Amino acid sequence: MALPVNRYVKANTNLHRSFDRKQPGAASFFIRQRFGLSQNLKPHRLRRTVQLIFLGVSLWIGWRFIVFYNSCLSTGQPAALRPPGVEAFLPISALMSARYWVQTGVIQSVHPAGLLIFVAILAISFLFKRSFCSWVCPFGLFSEKLADVGRKIVGRNFSLPRWPDRILRSVKYLLLGFFAYVICCRMDLPDLKAFLDSPFNQMADVRLLQFFLHPSSTTIVVLAILVVLSLFVRHFWCRYLCPYGALTALAGLVSPTHIKRDIPSCIDCGKCAKACPASLPVNQLLSVRSDECSLCLECVESCPVSNTLGVSVAFTHRRVWPIVLALSIIGIFLAIFVYGRLSGHWQTSVTPQQMVQQVQELQSTDPHHP
């Protein structure tokens, strides 16, 4: 009689656990059924696909911008329109535009796409923690690959001791606080508008391009140091220095989604903590609410017990499957893009003739660029 009793207990235990772990909602089920996607789709492969999509878009934008820039210098006539997506790399200007928009309700016309992309990043962070860093940001992907190379060279990546790690992690928040203080507290509205309309801000993207096309010796040394450090300390730039990462981390603190561990089915193998790129003790937590969690799902993929780890929505405790997370992130950017195009808040108000004139003037007056 022992065998039937054990089977009965096991069946009821599994049934009890199935009620403890709420199943995904109708939207998740429809997406997986409609596109023939399994809930066991490898999160790492899915995340890498999304990263490569955004990397491809970034490279295409960069190539178009270089073509635009070179044509302004050589022929005096843009060979192509300046791609608005390049404004994604102007976070300080976007932060200024955000403050101006909040106070006036007006979307500043010099870099409107930058503001909309900034809003999209904040929306993703509020909904899905720091997922922008691990699913979208090209620098996050580059940092990951550097760490992989470093691991192949020396056999492992290194983590700083607890207190040095905490101190250095505060640096990115100090940098963000400095920029926020200057923009929000030291500039009144007329000064802010004057800067946003200034030729300096209009050419901020060109200045950034020239910074990387013609780097100074100091720039090269600093970048080389960051690359070397990133080889051995995973996500060194993202973890310790990136102000954008600090902003997404702060927004992610109020996110309704987080990694949740089902304690009854956990076998305490510790694989999730070992796989976590942020070195979080996932195996000791019920819910991972740390500001360093980017929902990369490496812990979820490493777990040998199905459905023990997953992205959970607060209050409802429903699971968000990786494919739904991926499509939501892409969908937010597409929605912002469509809104910008339809509302007329995507292309800059600076005319091509003004751009050509300012690019040529900037090139002729800057002694560091030939």
In a domain, 360, yes or no: yes
In a domain, 100, yes or no: yes
Overall average pLDDT of the 10-39 stretch:
43
pLDDT of residue 69: 92
In a domain, 19, yes or no: no
- Mind listing the pLDDT tens digit for each residue in 97-119? 999 999 999 999 999 999 999 99
Instruction: Give the burial class of 331: count Cβ atoms within 10 A of its Cβ; 0-12 exposed, 13-18 middle, 19 or more buried.
Output: exposed
- Mean model confidence pLDDT for the chain: 87
Whether 204 and 90 have beta carbons less than 8 Å apart is answered as yes
Whether 200 and 358 have beta carbons less than 8 Å apart is answered as no
Total of domains in the chain: 1
Which range in 17-21, 160-164, 220-224, 310-314 is most confidently predicted, on average pLDDT? Answer: 220-224
d(CA 204, CA 300): 40
Whole-Å CA distances, 145 to 51, 270, 305: 12, 24, 28
Boundaries of domain holding 357 = 43-63+82-255+324-342+350-365
pLDDT of residue 368: 53
d(CA 40, CA 165): 34
Q: Is the dihedral of CA 169, 174, 175, 179 positive or negative?
A: positive
d(CA 14, CA 290): 30
Query: Where is pLDDT greater, at 274 or 315?
Result: 274
Overall average pLDDT of the 132-143 stretch:
96
In a domain, 156, yes or no: yes
DSSP 86: G
In a domain, 20, yes or no: no
Band (pLDDT 50/70/90 cuts) for residue 31 is very low
In a domain, 74, yes or no: no
Instruction: Give the residue from 186, 182, 190, 184 showing the smallest Cα distance to 98.
Output: 184
- Mind listing the pLDDT tens digit for each residue in 280-334? 999 999 999 999 999 999 999 999 998 899 999 988 878 999 999 999 999 999 9
- Mind listing the pLDDT tens digit for each residue in 59-74? 999 999 999 999 988 8
d(CA 236, CA 226): 8
In a domain, 70, yes or no: no
Full-model pTM: 0.87
Instruction: Give the residue from 178, 297, 163 showing the smallest Cα distance to 241.
Output: 178
In a domain, 289, yes or no: no
